[in-house]
């Protein structure tokens, strides 16, 4: 009887601590090569005085080249400043262990797209693709991220990562600090 209870507890605990399965938006292999990309994951959400901004990450692997896609969506009835990505743009991740990881933007300028919705809000959507530096994966798999700094063409912005937050937009709970710890396995 003791063995049956111990076995049941062991199996139950394995299910609890099992890693989450990878959730891909695209996973293709054809004559041109392979490409897989994880689904978008919200990293930051700010809602204040009628202004909203959202940042989403997704990881991609293109023929063994890992990249991080960053999508920034801003919504406001006021003027929205354009922050452009260019070949000199960088994304810095400060880890809880004090180390800083640098990702370099691909050589493609992008200032985003402005769309006005039916309610009179201006919506700016800006996307950037960043490449990982050699040997940065190991640090990102070990330590949570506490801060992200994005260096744009003419400006720099900092974002403090929360351990957990519930999105007002999607009503889902996100864990930005541990995004890389949980997701890098999906593109290795």
Question: Would you write out the chain's pLDDT as a tens digit for each of its 188 residues?
Answer: 444 444 344 444 433 344 568 888 877 777 777 888 999 999 999 998 889 999 999 999 988 889 999 999 999 988 888 899 999 999 999 999 999 999 999 988 999 999 988 888 899 999 999 999 877 888 999 999 999 999 999 999 999 999 999 999 899 999 999 999 999 999 88
pLDDT confidence of residue 163: 94
Whole-prediction pTM value? Answer: 0.84
* Domain definitions of the chain by residue range: 24-187
pLDDT at 105: 95
- pLDDT score at 81: 84
For the chain, give the number of residues. 188
CA distance 140 to 100: 10
Residue 120: both structure tokens together: 């009179």
Which of 88, 80, 92, 81 is closest to 105 using CA atoms?
A: 88
């Amino acid at each position: 009887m003791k063995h049956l209870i111990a076995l049941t507890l062991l199996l139950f605990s394995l299910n609890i601590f099992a890693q989450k399965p990878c959730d891909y938006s695209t996973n293709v292999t054809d004559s041109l090569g392979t490409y897989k990309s994880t689904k978008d994951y919200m990293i930051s959400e700010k809602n204040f005085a009628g202004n909203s901004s959202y940042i989403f990450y997704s990881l991609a692997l293109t023929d063994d080249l890992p990249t991080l896609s960053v999508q920034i969506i801003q919504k406001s009835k006021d003027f929205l400043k354009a922050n452009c990505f260019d070949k000199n743009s960088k994304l810095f991740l400060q880890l809880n262990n004090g180390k800083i990881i640098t990702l370099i933007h691909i050589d493609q300028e992008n200032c985003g797209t402005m769309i006005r919705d039916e309610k009179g809000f201006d919506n700016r959507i800006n996307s950037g693709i960043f490449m990982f530096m050699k040997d940065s994966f190991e640090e990102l798999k070990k330590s949570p991220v506490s801060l992200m700094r994005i260096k744009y063409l003419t400006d720099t912005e900092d974002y403090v990562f929360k351990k957990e937050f519930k999105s007002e937009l999607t009503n889902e709970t996100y864990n930005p600090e541990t995004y890389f710890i949980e997701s890098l396995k999906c593109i290795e």
